A and B are shown apart, each in its own frame.
Chain A
Amino acid sequence: MWGQTDTNGKAKYLFMEETHVTNADFMHNRELDEGELLLVESAVPDGERFVFVLSTDLNKKSRYAVNYLAATDTALYSVDEEGESERVPYESIERCYVKRNYGNAVFIIKEANGRSRNFSRFTYTSASIFDAAAQFAETMAEGETGLHDAQAVVEAALERRRSYCPKCGRALSRPGAECIYCQSKHKLVKKVAKYVLPHKYVLLVCLVLSGVTTATAMLPPYMTKTLVDDVLPNGNKPGLNTVVIMLLFAYILQYGIGMIRSYLLRVCGDRIVRDLRSDVYRQAQYLPMRFYDKTSTGSVINRISGDTSTIQAFMLRVTQEVVVQLFTLVGIVVIMMSMNWQLTLLSLIPVPFVVMGSRIFGRKIRPYYRKIWRRWSAVTSILTDSLPGIRIIKSFTNEKEATENFDHYNEEWLKTDIKSARITIAFPQIVSFVITMGSLLIWAVGGRLVIESPDFITAGDLVAFISYTSMFYGPVNFFANFNDSYQSTLAAAERILDIIDAEPENNAGEGKTLEHMDGKIEFKNVSFSFDRSKKALSNVTFTIEPGDVVGIVGTTGSGKSTLINLLMRFYDGYDGEILMDGVDIRQIDMEYYRSQIGYVQQEPMMFHDTIFNNISYGTPNASVEEVMHAADVANAHQFVARMPDAYDTVLGERGTGLSGGERQRLSIARAVLKNPSVLFFDEATASVDSETENLIQTAIERLISGRTTIMIAHRLSTLRRANKIIVVDKGEILEMGTPEELLAKKGKYWRLVEIQTMSDKVAASKAEERFE
């Protein structure tokens, strides 16, 4: 215990108040300070060597506190914030695992004597590293592998943690790399600026044109002064004509050049937004599935449409408006000062109020914009949810409820928008009022001067002055609000770069292909979780030989599809290894690897295109006869041929116009055309009737011949060709063997077969009753 001498004599370190171990002596998930080192070291007897020390963020009572799980070469230690410790030697460990509760997880040790210990507790933030610690402890307990091999798993887990930014949790391009999001905002702007650079010459021309239009815009007030002071009082008609013609030319120049400039800017802006959109869309194709698990497709669409436009507008603002407004501001002040410096100072009085007001307004209005955006998102998400499901709404006669639900969120949006309107509407009016007050002040003071000392200032000077004053507040407002638009653009830039700079699917094996893919698949101690709350696969190990037809069975949520997801390399962040023909699949070129795999899903995805193009999707150079042959093999040709437009039939969105079975046969035809080495079927016949199932089944049997095939099936009849069955339950392999072996074993597979046979019998007898 802290401050006391324990049986191991560790207290000497306390009195010495220095440690013998340093952070460099062991692996850790966080550096320990001197006090912590002392605390941990005091729990461990002399002679034991530290392997790792993991800091938790909860104590055993589920309160926020840093506790420690220390592993030495002979035992595990749990040390709490008070220095209380528990020791469990590896030889007494029977099982060690992390139990995920709700918002927290517990490191549990089951000892050989039957005792169960809740050894450490932590939030999900640290759970993955403790999984590795549990694996380490079990390996040490087994005693078959050396310490070096056992600690490799913890090393790998810690390395993976370095692949994520500790500040924002986003994936890094490589372990320990600088996070693109947490780097300075100027770098963000720099990244976005690369889209502007190709257009620099056009923008430069626009800038020159802007200078001309701004200069010509300053002429009219001066002309007005001439009119008021010289032309009108003297009845100078030729002078009047000259001034009017000069004004006409000034306006023609101003608006004509303005038109050319606007056109060039529009073209430039469109090109910038096109490049941005293309990059975002291209990148979106290569993002890992984990990105889409956490980000709705609607949000990606918003980024491609809305955010790109925000950035484009801002970049044009920076490259054009900043310069123009600055030029205008300086030009006007110089002209005003040259006309009358006293009045100029007077006209500057409202400036601080306008600037301060703009800043306050910006701060006040931002939460409202955010709220409006949230409310609007809620409204649009109801639209995107409900309209595609209109059949369901109608079939459940739920139109009224759907409308009420929409109205509710629409009403929420209205309330928020009205609240924000009070500020958004009031503020510009107040600013205008303040500016007008400034003009009134100039009228009052300047007018008096014109009356009392016409030699000091003329009426024309005053009128011109008032015009310049109103022009002056344009740039003032611009710069006062510039920071807000800079901030909102940075937010948009972050959202865009979230995609553009996101780590694409790991393709470490780029360019590395296999001479020939035979289809030997090995899972070695594979563990995986989609999020940190639940493990989808735990320590899965099995081997599939080339040409095997393997059925994967298990209840819903048991982890069957996850196996396929990992094999398809939709997710790479798993522990352990998956080998294809003896090579880690992460080390094989992604494009080559996937091109060798045929994947048929439960809900086949069809595109809004012709049947021909849907079949040849992925094999664009396929000849007509190859496509027809593929359709033949997939039992699809007959129904396609019966359709009026046959292969030219354009399918509706997501394949509407075809039955589920027909869509499935087209997707099998797609797989046939691809001629893959390995085939995965994920519940391919789950949602079709028995007759269609037979058609699909025949198609599948033609396709799988000679190919390594993995079939996930609820309907066990689908697995009649399988020579090996893997039973998955709760992310673990429960049983594995030939169907005969598993039936003889009378385990889970046998039970599933029994249940299904019985339900088939019930269904058959019910069908019989109906027919009778």
Chain B
Amino acid sequence: MSDKTETMATNETEPVSPPIEEEIARERIYIDGDEAHFERVDITNVDVNLFDGRRFEHLEPRRLFPRTGLERYITLLDDDGNEVAVIRNLASLPAEERRVIEMCLDEYYHVPHITKITGSLEKFGVIKFFCETDRGDCTIEVRNIVHQIKLMYGIRVMFLDNDDNRYEIPDIRKLDRKSMSYLNDYL
């Protein structure tokens, strides 16, 4: 358990490890709607002040469903990787609070959105896609199309390249015809 996990907003300064029984029985803290204030302390971490008086420091927001639920169930982990609280739905947070969490998530998750595929090349068992993304131009190299290119819900395509980097096409219907022709061979 982190020594930063929980400090009450009282004069208590020493972090207190909860008794083991309490740790086992601990219930998950859900944050819904206007229940907390988030302060960004570095690129991927926030301090959380719950309006019931509890304060948690240096927590890292992470998606529990990074592929299937980008806005739902955002876990807040302490420095030891222990979950402290869960935001049920980002959409339920006030705009400012939501923005803080989104900024952290944007820094943590580097999943470029592919906007255009300008070419593809299949050679030596490696397929290269030359792409334009919202984060600049890149080349995606894929060896195993079954495992590394996944079509989800009929419209969303997830890529995992040979180096375990991730890319996404949120909606293939929005791709131009040429991009689609490069992609279509592998879907």
List A residues at the B interface (Cβ < 8 Å). Answer: 58, 62-65, 101-104, 106, 116, 118, 123-125, 167-169, 179, 181-182, 294, 366-367, 370-371, 374, 377, 491, 494-495, 498, 531-533, 730, 751, 754-755, 758
Chain A residues with CB under 8 Å of B162's CB are 168-169
Structural contact, A102 and B111, CB atoms closer than 8 A: yes
Do the beta carbons of B166 and A102 come within 8 Å of each other?
yes
With A64-B136, A374-B146, A494-B125 known as contacts, the answer to whether A101 contacts B44 (CB < 8 A) is: yes
- List B residues 70-99 near A (Cβ within 8 Å): 80-81
A636 to chain B: closest CB distance in Å? 37
Q: Show 7 A/B contacts (Cβ-Cβ < 8 Å), sorted by A.
A: A102-B166, A104-B110, A123-B110, A181-B125, A182-B124, A498-B125, A755-B24
Nearest chain B CB to A172 CB, angstrom units: 13
Is the Cβ of B187 less than 8 Å from the Cβ of A371? yes
State the Cβ distance, B114 to closest chain A Cβ, in Å: 12
Within the assembled complex, what's the spacing in Å between the Cα atoms of A116 and B106?
Answer: 19
Please determine whether B81 and A730 come into contact, CB atoms closer than 8 angstroms.
Answer: yes
Render B134-168 as a binary contact track against A, CB cut-off 8 A, 1 for contact.
01111001011110000000000000001111100
**Residue of chain A at shortest CB distance from B41:** A116
**Contact A168 B143, beta carbon cutoff 8 Å:** yes
- What's the minimum C-beta distance from B109 to chain A, rounded to whole angstroms? 4
Give the Cβ gap from B7 to chain A, nearest Cβ, in Å.
Answer: 19
- Taking a contact as CB atoms under 8 Å apart, the answer to whether B126 and A101 are in contact is no
Task: Establish whether residues A758 and B21, one from each chain, have CB atoms under 8 Å apart when the complex forms.
Answer: yes
User: CA separation between A27 and B107, bound complex, in Å?
Assistant: 30
**A168/B110 in contact, CB under 8 A:** no
Given contacts A64-B136, A101-B110, 7 further A-B contacts (CB under 8 A): A63-B136, A64-B137, A103-B166, A168-B162, A169-B141, A294-B144, A498-B125
Instruction: Give bound CA distance, A182 to B123, whole Å.
Output: 8
Candidates A65, A103, A168, A495; contact of B126 at CB < 8 Å: A168
Q: Are B124 and A103 in contact (CB under 8 A)?
A: no
Q: Is B65 engaged at the interface, CB distance under 8 Å to the other chain?
A: no
Cβ distance A544 to chain B, nearest Cβ, rounded Å: 27
Query: CA–CA, A460 to B71, complex, Å?
Result: 81
Whole-angstrom CA separation of A104 from B136 in the bound complex: 15
Say whether A494 contacts B43, CB under 8 Å. no
> B20, B66, B110, B186: which contacts A751 (Cβ < 8 A)?
B20
- Check A65–B107 contact: CB distance below 8 A: no
CA of A124 to CA of B137, assembled, Å: 17
| B185 contacts the other chain (CB 8 A) | yes
Of A62, A63, A367, A491, most B-chain CB atoms within 10 Å = A62
Task: Judge whether A533 and B164 touch: CB under 8 Å.
Answer: yes
B24, B135, B163: the one within 8 Å of A64 (CB) = B135
Complex CA distance for A181 and B123, rounded to whole angstroms: 9
B30 part of interface (Cβ distance < 8 Å): no
9 shortest interchain CB distances as A-B pairs = A64-B136, A104-B110, A103-B110, A367-B185, A125-B163, A103-B166, A102-B109, A494-B125, A181-B124
Contact A491–B125 (Cβ < 8 Å): yes
Contact at A754–B110, with CB atoms within 8 Å? Answer: no
Which partner residue on chain B sits nearest A531 by CB separation? B164
**B49 on the A face (CB < 8 A):** no
Highest count of chain A CB atoms <10 Å: which of B44, B110, B144: B110
The reply to whether A758 and B136 contact each other, CB–CB distance below 8 Å, is no
A63–B135 alpha-carbon span in the complex (Å): 5
Please name all residues of chain A whose beta carbon is closer than 8 Å to the beta carbon of B42 when the two chains form the complex.
116, 118
A167 and B21 contact, CB distance less than 8 A:
no
Q: Report the bound CA distance from A730 to B79 in whole Å.
A: 12
The docked-state distance in angstroms from the alpha carbon of A169 to that of B142 is 10
Contact assessment for B163 and A123 in the assembled complex, using a CB-CB cutoff below 8 Å: yes
- In chain B, what residue has the closest Cβ to A366? B185
Check A374–B110 contact: CB distance below 8 A: no
Q: By the criterion CB–CB under 8 Å, are B20 and A377 in contact?
A: no
* CB-defined contacts of B10 to chain A, threshold 8 Å: none
**Min CB gap A381→B, angstroms:** 9
CB–CB A58/B110 < 8 A: yes
B105 → A minimal CB distance (Å): 9
**For A494, what are the chain B residues with a Cβ–Cβ distance below 8 Å?**
124-125
- Shortest beta-carbon distance from B76 to chain A in Å: 16
**Do A103 and B133 form a contact, CB below 8 Å, given A371-B187, A533-B164?**
no
> Which residue on A lies nearest to B126, using beta carbons?
A168
Contacts of A181 in B (CB 8 A): 124-126
Cα distance A758–B138 when bound, in Å? 54
Indicate whether B11 reaches chain A with its CB closer than 8 angstroms.
no
Chain A nearest CB, measured from B120 CB (Å): 11
Shortest distance between the CB of A317 and any CB in chain B (Å): 22
Residues of A within 8 A of B185 (CB): 366-367, 370
Smallest distance from the beta carbon of B101 to chain A beta carbons, Å? 15
Q: Please report the C-alpha to C-alpha distance between residue A377 and residue B150 in the assembled complex, in whole angstroms.
A: 13
Report the Cα distance A754→B20, complex, angstroms.
Answer: 8
